[in-house]
Amino acid sequence: MGKPGNRIGNQVEARLWATDSLVRVSSCFLILILCVLLVWGCGYRCFVGKLEPMPRAKQIAETRILDDGTVVYAKDRLEIGLRPLGDEELNRQFPEASSSGLLSANPYTYANWKPAGKKSTPQRFTVFL
């Protein structure tokens, strides 16, 4: 039979090894999850398309749509209006920042830059006035 102190030492060593293994496995799993989230987040691009109001029948009574596309919500003395601005309108508002192609400094659009093989400029953000 072995020494009693040696047996306790082996048990402690086995527990430390099991704890160390669990920490290593959970660390690897956490790193894997973070890598997957990083890759997924960098590859996500939302393509919305043109914004148009819902049909009048589906809108609530307090809303109305103006000719320029502004959606207005009015209740008592509160009135809120939102109008989506297109890329062309934003480029007209910032002409000096929208004419340098890939080096354009317009923060809201890609200005006059077109990706290789495409005929139109992609939409960067949806901006409301």
Please answer whether residues 81 and 94 qualify as being in contact, where contact means their C-beta atoms are separated by less than 8 angstroms. no
Q: Mean pLDDT across the stretch 59-82?
A: 90
Return d(Cα 70, Cα 66) in angstroms, integer. Answer: 5
112 with 63, same domain? Answer: yes
How far is the C-alpha of 9 from the C-alpha of 17, rounded, in Å? 12
20 and 78 inside one domain: no
What digits encode the pLDDT tens for the residues 86-119?
A: 888 888 888 888 888 777 888 888 888 888 888 8
The pLDDT value recorded for residue 46 is 64
Q: How many domains does the chain have?
A: 2
> Are residues 30 and 76 both part of a single domain?
no
Q: DSSP alpha helices (H): ranges in 44-123? A: 87-93
Q: Which residue has the tokens 């192609």?
A: 101
Alpha helices, DSSP H, located in the chain: 4-43, 87-93
